[in-house]
Structure 1
Amino acid sequence: MPHRTLLCLLALAPMLAMQPAGAAPPASSYPAKPVTIVVPYAAGGATDAMIRPIAEALSTQWKQPVIVDNRPGANGIIATQLVSKAAPDGYTLLLSLTGIVQNLSLYKKVPYDPFKDLQAITQLGTQPMGLAVAPASPYRDVGALIDAARATPGKFSYGSFGTGSTGHIYGELLRSTAKLEIPHVAYKGEAPMLPDLMAGRVQLGFVSASTAATRHRDKSLRILAVTGPRRIGTMADVPTLAELGYKGFEAVGWYGLFAPAGTPKPVAEKIVADTRAVLQSPAIVARLRDQAIEPTGTSSDDFTRLLRADYAKWDGLIKTFKIELE
């Protein structure tokens, strides 16, 4: 070996020793290949409609395909477990909702720990819920609805889009807070619940904010109130439950991106920065707000703190109302 070559190799040796085997590429080169966002719900639903414009915008920004991979089933557990076992390189991400922490309390055993097996990347947006009645319902405000339900125990029922859903938890909270005798009717999703709610076969129910906004506009549902700390811009005439004196409804649902635990911090920070830029695009902002989603784009640390606070809140409610899933 020539003397000059040997000297060069000796000079490089300390730097080479600092690079661990299989080290992830630097964030500056990310992404160097297609990125997959796994979605735990079926194609064509509200969640799918929310993430696809963001994926398209990221694809344009990154000059790499961003693939939306729908993996529905088991209340999001199938998709979550899949991503938790993926390579921690930033090329497999998970879009998830509040259910990722609610599942810890709803099931006796969950095959993932969102605080250990996953890394919170960024919250994409928040979305409250709407308390709805049929358009022909005689009740035009929450007070009148509560008074009628109290006066006729057992004559009212409330619907939700599934046992253990946020709508179910909030229905139980309303029943408990207002001291009502109203049984729960669980549907397999929001779509099958809507015809019964619109026809008055169930007297009230919590619906997603995007559904509330759409049905409020076309008057196919009457939205009496919304959850969350503030009114929704597209339904500024509808009060919050907190305004009306009903406490505990301030938490909102959210959409967020996760990665497998161990994803390099520079890669995670690049995803946060680029996603935040997308969420500030006027076209994306308008599209999300049309679905009653308020864009956010938090830091990873802020999102992690929110997860822990949300877990504590939902865990307390789920245990209080003894809601369980098999």
Structure 2
Amino acid sequence: MDTIARLLAQRLSTQFGQQVIVDNRPGANGVIGSTSVYRSPADGYTLLIQTSTFLVTPMLLKNVPYTVEKDFTPISNLGSVPMIMTANPNLPYKNLAEFLSAAKTDSSKFTFSTAALGSPGHLAQEAIKRDAKISIPIVPYKGTGPALADVIGGHVSSTIDALPSSLPHIKSGKLKALAVTSAKRIPQMPEVPTVAESGLPGFEVTSWYGLFAPTGLPAPLAQKIQKEVAIAMKSESVSKALTDQGFVIQGSTPEELASHVKAENVKLGRLVKDAKINIE
């Protein structure tokens, strides 16, 4: 998210003729940064980039002061990053289909690591467990690095994480790629099947990134910002840097992001309920 924000801010600074500043405010699954934007004036000067976790956090935490659909103005779906399920190279399974077959026989031999409860990778794991009807313990870690490290070290069987953080370890042979969570295979690794191809038809869970403003932003201003953002996302300096990392650029309209948020709220809400996820 920081990479996307900084590339976009640099390009928009040129287009707007004034400095666009990135202000990282991490903590509480994104609630701290999101709340600061929620409480800001709806004048177009304060914007928020968030991932799909943005929708899930209010479902998991009490006392979150906002709801996404009511308290934010959608501007643009910037795009998405496919996630990939990886395993320790010593596991004898070549792909997810073999992994699931073995897990159905005896799931006690398997564990998942996740960078954070409620993260896109965690939700993808819960969706696989639900759809494949298997029970594999999920071990939460404090960040992507430790979650990947314990798979590499053989302490955990598998993990699901965004492509940019996993790809270097796959190329070096420290991780084995089992499946991608996107609807289609990815150009970076066309030989790796999708989860849907591995026995779970219709499966798709990606980490998407949206641009939002506080609620009440006038529609003409939202449309003006979206047009500038679409130009920036398609510029060579931004698009090449992102697509090289597996990012799928969209730059949608405010209406398209609003529709996407509505559909994702239903889909992810059902998954949170089915998996009985609770982080308090």
State TM-score, norm by structure 1: 0.82
> What SS class does the counterpart of residue 238 from structure 1 fall into?
coil
Q: What's the offset of the Cα at 1:199?
A: 1.6
Residues of 2 paired with 1:117 and 1:125: CA distance?
A: 22
Distance 1:201-1:248 versus aligned 2 partners, 3 A rule? farther
2:92 aligned partner, one-letter code: P
Q: Is the 8 A contact 1:216 1:235 kept in 2?
A: no
Residues of 1 paired with 2:199 and 2:239: CA distance?
A: 31
Q: What's the offset of the Cα at 1:216?
A: 2.7
Aligned to 1:235: 189
> What SS class does the counterpart of residue 199 from structure 2 fall into?
coil
Q: Is the 8 A contact 1:229 1:240 kept in 2?
A: yes
Aligned to 1:273: 227
Higher RCO structure (Cα 8 Å, ≥6 apart): 2
Q: Is the 8 A contact 1:212 1:223 kept in 2?
A: no
Q: Is the 8 A contact 1:213 1:292 kept in 2?
A: no
> What SS class does the counterpart of residue 235 from structure 1 fall into?
coil
Residues of 1 paired with 2:115 and 2:237: CA distance?
A: 30
Q: Is the 8 A contact 1:105 1:319 kept in 2?
A: no
> What SS class does the counterpart of residue 82 from structure 1 fall into?
helix
Residues of 1 paired with 2:39 and 2:152: CA distance?
A: 42
2:143 aligned partner, one-letter code: G
Residues of 2 paired with 1:180 and 1:283: CA distance?
A: 44
Residues of 1 paired with 2:61 and 2:240: CA distance?
A: 37
Residues of 2 paired with 1:234 and 1:305: CA distance?
A: 29
Q: Is the 8 A contact 1:170 1:249 kept in 2?
A: no
> What SS class does the counterpart of residue 277 from structure 2 fall into?
coil
1:305 aligned partner, one-letter code: S
Aligned to 1:107: 61
* Residues 212-257 of structure 1: CA deviation (Å, up to 9, x unaligned): 3333333321111101211122122211111223145313221111
1:129 aligned partner, one-letter code: M
Residues of 1 paired with 2:176 and 2:109: CA distance?
A: 20
Q: Is the 8 A contact 1:98 1:253 kept in 2?
A: yes
> What SS class does the counterpart of residue 234 from structure 1 fall into?
coil
Q: What's the offset of the Cα at 1:109?
A: 3.8
Aligned to 2:30: 76
Aligned to 1:222: 176
1:93 to 47, 69, 81: 47
Aligned to 2:267: 313
> What SS class does the counterpart of residue 178 from structure 2 fall into?
strand
Aligned to 1:56: 10
> What SS class does the counterpart of residue 154 from structure 1 fall into?
helix
2:153 to 177, 196, 199: 199
* Residues 91-125 of structure 1: CA deviation (Å, up to 9, x unaligned): 00001010111123222442112112110110111
Residues of 2 paired with 1:271 and 1:213: CA distance?
A: 33
Question: Which structure 1 segments of 5+ residues have no match?
Answer: 1-46
Structure ID, larger Rg: 1
Residues of 2 paired with 1:297 and 1:248: CA distance?
A: 24
Query: After the TM superposition, which segments of 4 or more aligned residues of structure 1 sit over 4 Å from their partners?
Result: none
Residues of 2 paired with 1:48 and 1:191: CA distance?
A: 16
Q: What's the offset of the Cα at 1:167?
A: 1.8
Q: Is the 8 A contact 1:98 1:255 kept in 2?
A: yes
Residues of 1 paired with 2:28 and 2:51: CA distance?
A: 14
Identity between Structure 1 and Structure 2 (%)? 38
Residues of 1 paired with 2:246 and 2:261: CA distance?
A: 21
Aligned to 1:29: none
2:58 aligned partner, one-letter code: L
Question: In angstroms, what is the RMSD of aligned CA positions?
Answer: 1.5
Distance 1:163-1:248 versus aligned 2 partners, 3 A rule? farther
Residues of 2 paired with 1:113 and 1:172: CA distance?
A: 23
Q: Is the 8 A contact 1:95 1:255 kept in 2?
A: yes
Aligned to 2:164: 210
Aligned to 1:190: 144
Count residues in correspondence: 280
Residues of 2 paired with 1:73 and 1:315: CA distance?
A: 22
Aligned to 1:164: 118
Residues of 2 paired with 1:181 and 1:261: CA distance?
A: 41
